[in-house]
Amino acid sequence: MDRAALPDIISTGIYGTPPTELAEQPSGSTQFSPLIPGSGKLEDLAEGSLTEMVLLAPPGTVERRYATALALKALAPEGVLTALAPKDKGGSRLAKELKSFGCAVDETSKRHYRICICRQPVQLASIEEALSEGAPRFDEAIGFWTQPGVFSWNRLDPGSALLEQHLPALSGKGADFGCGIGILSGTILKSSKVTHLTLIDIDRRATEMTARNVEDARVEIRWADVRNLRLAGLDFVVMNPPFHDGGAEDQSLGQSFIRKAAESLRPGGVLWLVANRHLPYEGVLKPLFKRVTLHAEASGYKIYEAQK
C-alpha cells in the first residue's frame, strides 16, 4: 500500500515497540501497550477515533486477536492498521486473522517479520468473538479474575504455589514486586499483622485484575516498572521475579528486582523469593543481604529468605 496516498493523519496510535525500520511511527503518536506504564487504554477509545495504528502484535493468539480487534474498532473508516510480528511469534497467522475480521490485507516479509497493512473495513466481521475471548473474566478453575496475556493467566504458577507454602505470617509494611493478578498478595494479606502492602506490576491488565482479586484497605496498587520505584523502610518484600523480557530470557531483570528489594527494605527487613533453580540469583543476594537462607528446593524451583 502506498503510504503517500493515505489521507492526512490526524491521530495515530502505537501498540508496543515495533522496530522503527520495519514500520514508520509518526512522532506525536499515542502509545497503547498495557506493558508500558502510563499508556492509553485501547478499550477506552471512542470508536473511529484514530486514523492510523501501528501494532506490534502480541505472541499469544487470544491476546493478539483481542488487540487487533480493538485497534480496528478504534480506527476511523478507511483508517490504516499496520500490524507486524516475528514470523514464529504469531506473524505467520496475522494476515489470516485480519482477513477473518473483513480486512483486505497487503502482506510483506522483512527481517523474519510479517508486516500486514490494511484499512478499516467499515463492515467489521466477527470481532465480537475476539473481543469477548480476550476480555477479563473470573476463572472458576483458579478462583481469580484474570485476562489472556497476563502472566500465567489460566493456571497457578508452580513457583508461586511453592512460595505460598513456605511464606510465614509476615508483619508490618511490605511490597509484592511483579504482583501479577495478586495471587501471592492474597496469601500475604491473610496475616492480620500486615499493615500496608504495595503491589506493583508493569502490566496494566494485571494491576486491574489484582484490584478485583485483592479488595483490602491495606493495599496500594501501582502500574509501574519495579526498576523505577522509590520505596524505603519496608519490613518485607515478596516476589516471583520475571525472567523474560519481550519473550527472551533476561536474567538481569530478576537481578534488578533483587537490588531494588535490598534498597527498599529497612535493616533487618526480609525478602522472600522464588526462582527457577537454574537462575543465578545467589551471587546477587549474598553481597546485598546479611543472611541468605535456602528454605526449599522442589519441582525445579528454589525458595530463598534473605535478611538485610
Binding site for ligand SAM (CB under 6 A): 151-152, 157, 160, 178-180, 183-184, 200-203, 206, 225-227, 240, 242, 253
Q: How far is the CB of 121 from ligand SAM (least distance, A)?
A: 33
* Shortest reach from residue 162's CB to ligand SAM, in Å: 10
> Which CB atom, from 37 or from 86, has the smaller least distance to ligand SAM?
37
Rounded Cα distance, 7 and 213, in Å: 45
Say how many residues make up the chain. Answer: 308
| CB 103 to ligand SAM: min, Å | 30
Q: How far is the CB of 202 from ligand SAM (least distance, A)?
A: 4
Beta-strand relationship, 113-119 and 172-177 = unpaired
190 φ, ψ (degrees, to nearest 5): -65, -20
- Closer Cβ to ligand SAM, 121 or 241, answer by number: 241
- Between residues 151 and 272, which has the closer beta carbon with respect to ligand SAM? 151
Q: Given the complex with ligand SAM, which of 76 and 209 has the nearer CB atom?
A: 209
CB of 152 to ligand SAM, least distance (A): 6
Nearer to ligand SAM, 119 or 260 (CB): 260
What phi and psi, each to the nearest 5 degrees, are found at residue 50? -115, 145
SS3 track for the chain:
CCHHHCCCCCCEEEECCCCCCCCCCCCCCEECCCCCCCCCCHHHCCCCCEEEEEEECCCCHHHHHHHHHHHHHHEEEEEEEEEEEEHHHCHHHHHHHHHHCCCCCEEEEECCEEEEEEECCCCCCCHHHHHHHCCCEEECCCCEEECECECCCCCCCHHHHHHHHHCCCCCEEEEEECCCCCHHHHHHCCCCCEEEEEEEECCHHHHHHHHHHCCCCCEEEEECCHHHCCCCCEEEEEECCCCEECCEECHHHHHHHHHHHHHHEEEEEEEEEEEECCCCCHHHHHHHCCEEEEEEEECCEEEEEEEC
In one-letter notation, the amino acid at residue 182 is: G
50/183 with CB nearer ligand SAM = 183
Minimum distance from residue 156 beta carbon to ligand SAM (Å): 7
- Closer to ligand SAM by Cβ: residue 106 or 225: 225
Residue of closest CB approach to ligand SAM: 178
Closer to ligand SAM by CB, 225 or 263: give it.
Answer: 225
CB of 48 to ligand SAM, least distance (A): 31
Shortest gap between Cβ of 201 and ligand SAM (angstroms)?
Answer: 5
